[in-house]
Amino acid sequence: MAAKGVESTTMTPVAQSRMENFRKVKTSEQDSPLPFPDLPPGVVEMKVKEGSKIRNLMGFAMARMELKGTRQIVFSGCGRAVTKTITCVEIMKRKLGGLHQVTKVHYKTLLEVWENKDPQPDGQVENLTVHKNVPSICILLSKDPLDPNEMGYQPPESRDGLWAEEGGIEEDRLSSPPQGVKRPLTLPHGELANKKMQVQVPESQRGLGTMDYMLDSHH
């Protein structure tokens, strides 16, 4: 499984039989600060785990976001919970329109402590600490506009076909020579800001971050 950060290698039979005798005692995450700049200290953080129920997560998150005072919310998950995190974010974006999004991916180190299942007669307990690097994702949703030059920024989507308009934009991006090295951060947004009036695209700053349209839920 690609759960480990390194490229997947098959375990030799010897290693597998050794792990059978071990029982996982505890798993602890190495907590790291959220990778978003300028976060208010009281931001709601939703930690999505593998077994979390989306219904419960969304109930809590929507209740919090519907308050006028809550401007931002962070969803984070790692390992198998990444897909669920993205799903929660997409559902929230659909229910509340006009949310700005910043997505960050990084590796998270998990520390697992395994101990010997059948202790030796002399009571010897072997401990095994495993460092696992798992991909993890942090998504910030905000009612207020965010810095579009931030890596991973995604403006609020429009209701119209995402792919049709984006196909047009890709062509415009292609027409200019591939100078990605020249302006890597401002290229998508700097150009599009000029074309705001001509092309109705999801990446234009339409609505100015206000929830002026409510997406009707069709799921």
The residue range among 3-11, 13-21, 61-69, 113-121 that interacts with another protein, by the rule CB under 8 A, is: 3-11
Site string for another protein, 51-80 (x = CB under 8 A): -----------------------------x
Tokens 């329109």: give the residue.
97
79 contacts 152 by C-beta, under 8 angstroms: no
CA angle 216, 217, 219 (to 5 degrees): 150
Does position 216 bind another protein by CB under 8 A? Answer: no
Six-digit token pair at 121? 């007669």
Tokens 């976060």: give the residue.
39
Q: How far apart are CA 190 and CA 209, in angstroms?
A: 18
- SS3 (DSSP) at 18: helix
- Closer residue to another protein in complex, CB, 114/157: 157
Six-digit token pair at 74? 């962070």
**Residues in 141-180 at the binding interface with another protein, rule: CB under 8 A:** 151-154, 157, 162-164, 166-167, 170-171, 174, 178-180
Among 35, 135, 207, 209, binds another protein (CB under 8 A): 135
Q: How far apart are CA 25 and CA 47, in angstroms?
A: 22
- Closer residue to another protein in complex, CB, 55/219: 219
Among 73, 89, 99, 192, binds another protein (CB under 8 A): 89
The residue range among 4-12, 61-69, 110-118, 190-198 that interacts with another protein, by the rule CB under 8 A, is: 4-12
Six-digit token pair at 208? 């100015």
What are the backbone angles phi and psi of residue 197, rounded to the nearest 5°? -80, -25
- Closer residue to another protein in complex, CB, 41/178: 178
Q: What is the DSSP letter of 181?
A: T
User: Which residues bind to another protein, rule: CB under 8 A?
Assistant: 2, 5, 7-8, 80, 82-83, 86-87, 89-90, 94, 101, 103-107, 135, 137, 139, 151-154, 157, 162-164, 166-167, 170-171, 174, 178-181, 184-185, 219
